[in-house]
Amino acid sequence: MGKVLIIGAGGVASVAAHKVAQNPDVFTEVMIASRTKSKCDALVKAIGNPNIKTAKVDADNVDELVALFNDFKPEIVMNLALPYQDLTIMEACLKAGVNYLDTANYEPRDEAHFEYSWQWAYRERFEKAGLTAILGCGFDPGVSGIYTAYAAKHYFDEIHYLDIVDCNAGNHHKAFATNFNPEINIREITQKGLYYEDGKWIETEPLEIHQPLTYPNIGPRESYLLHHEELESLVLNYPSIKRARFWMTFGQQYLTYLDVIQNIGMSRIDEITYEAPLANDPTKVEKVKIVPLQFLKAVLPNPQELGENYEGETSIGCRIRGVKDGKERTYYVYNNCSHQAAYQETGMQGVSYTTGVPAMIGAMMFLKGIWKKPGVFNVEEFDPDPFMEQLNKQGLPWHEVFDGDLEL
Ligand code: NDP
């Protein structure tokens, strides 16, 4: 049915590539391209399908991307590299006439700040080119928006309160590790919190607001209010929403380490210069420039290598309150994903799995012609039903609780 190019060969891309290979009726030709080609080759070997092509590409370089797109001629590019590359890849898609999908919104390297404006600015150009761009098609953002769209379509006349709840109750037996790219992850968590209420955005200190929430099959876990990108599009697409928040669980040990990392300056994203003794003459020094957070990433455990000893599960869902036929009702829709089951299937832990599977389904929706319209869209702007059906088939089954206590 279609030709897909996956950019990136990290944890999320590894899962997406496994799932793409499991659906050969949809994905008839596949290429994986990334900065380090050997990682793409290792991934193809792990999947065991020698027909998957690989290439080296620097996704910060539009010309290199365009040359690769013109050579392979994919119908859709799955951008599973880092948020820094979103705009260069979108730019190259426009130049080469290729459709686009990603799992995280653009972030400038020198500012830990995310918002959709940079990517929404491409709406008219994608529309005029007759190309589709699907933004934020992982789990959160991604399935969180699709769950909301599904709730709005089937169960509510108006959604009033939306709480996205993300629990990782897994244990990887490391003192400190992040579950996806450490640089991106730490930038996200150390930002100020933000939520939406009565038409306004309210800022909080980082991790200032927290409370225990009970997760299915897991129990109560302390959950912290964070800013998360999907809130921005969801409150626009569902204007009846009075309050929208995002919660994520963290263990005490994780927070203690994070505190230390921040207090000693290792989460800084500005460039610093330090004096390093020369290897051949330690009495002399050379000036070396580093970004502390990038250096920290290099010494932290690689999230792709957490899978083998990872126990427990994730539980991510939407807790929604609103009205249907004049009556108030609540709805909770969620998925629990086992880290070990994810590892057995794809060699990656549950956080990569819950992101890579929806990315594959989004590309499938496009290639089947179900999610295909010219322009730049967030996932909740498409029909959620066929996507929800695939979640059940592709390893992320969901469950519903009607009129229960949302705790929020
Ligand atoms: P990783 O760090 O494991 O992988 C990133 C990959 O991108 C690496 O293979 C890296 O190459 C490659 N890459 C980085 N820069 C470039 C470049 N300039 N050109 C080409 N390739 C490049 O990250 P993850 O797999 O954990 O995360 C991938 C994406 O998924 C991120 O954007 C993250 O924010 C997003 N995400 C979304 C979630 C959601 O639910 N929506 C949840 C989790 C993650 P190299 O190997 O050479 O470094």
Going by pLDDT thresholds of 50, 70 and 90, the confidence category of residue 113 is: confident
**Cβ(182)–Cβ(297) under 8 Å?**
yes
Nearest CA to ligand 1 atom 41: 138
**Cβ(31)–Cβ(373) under 8 Å?**
no
- How remote is the CA of residue 29 from the centroid of ligand 1, in Å? 22
- How remote is the CA of residue 325 from the centroid of ligand 1, in Å? 44
101 versus 304: which is more confidently predicted? 101
Closest Cα partner for 16 from 28, 2, 4, 3?
4
Task: Dump pLDDT digits (tens) for 12-42.
Answer: 999 999 999 999 999 999 999 999 999 999 9
Which of 31, 82, 354 to mutate to test ligand 1, by most ligand atoms within 8 A of the CB atom?
82
- How remote is the CA of residue 181 from the centroid of ligand 1, in Å? 6
Which atom number of ligand 1 is nearest to the Cα of residue 180?
26
Closest Cα partner for 242 from 328, 169, 317?
328
Task: Dump pLDDT digits (tens) for 122-158.
Answer: 999 999 999 999 999 999 999 999 999 999 999 999 9
Beta strand 399-402 with 327-338 is antiparallel
With b meaning 16 or more CB within 10 Å and e meaning fewer, what string describes 325-344? eeeeebbbbbbbbbbbebbe
What's the whole-model pTM score? 0.96
Return the percent helix, strand and coil in the chain, to nearest 5.
Answer: 35, 30, 35
**Cβ(60)–Cβ(85) under 8 Å?**
yes
Mean pLDDT of 186-195: 92
Closest Cα partner for 397 from 328, 316, 320?
316
- How remote is the CA of residue 80 from the centroid of ligand 1, in Å? 5
**Residue 229 and residue 116: Cα distance in Å, rounded?**
8
Mean pLDDT of 273-282: 91
For residue 214, what are the β-bridge partners? 220
For residue 200, what are the β-bridge partners? 197
Q: How high is the pLDDT of residue 244?
A: 98
Residues with a CB atom less than 6 Å from ligand 1: 8-13, 34-36, 39, 57-60, 80-83, 85, 103-104, 138-142, 180-181, 184, 303-304, 351, 355
Q: Where would I find the H helices in 104-213?
A: 117-120, 123-129, 143-154, 182-189
Which atom number of ligand 1 is nearest to the Cα of residue 82?
32
pLDDT exceeds 80 at position 112 = no
Which of 31, 32, 35, 88 to mutate to test ligand 1, by most ligand atoms within 8 A of the CB atom?
35
**Residue 162 and residue 244: Cα distance in Å, rounded?**
5
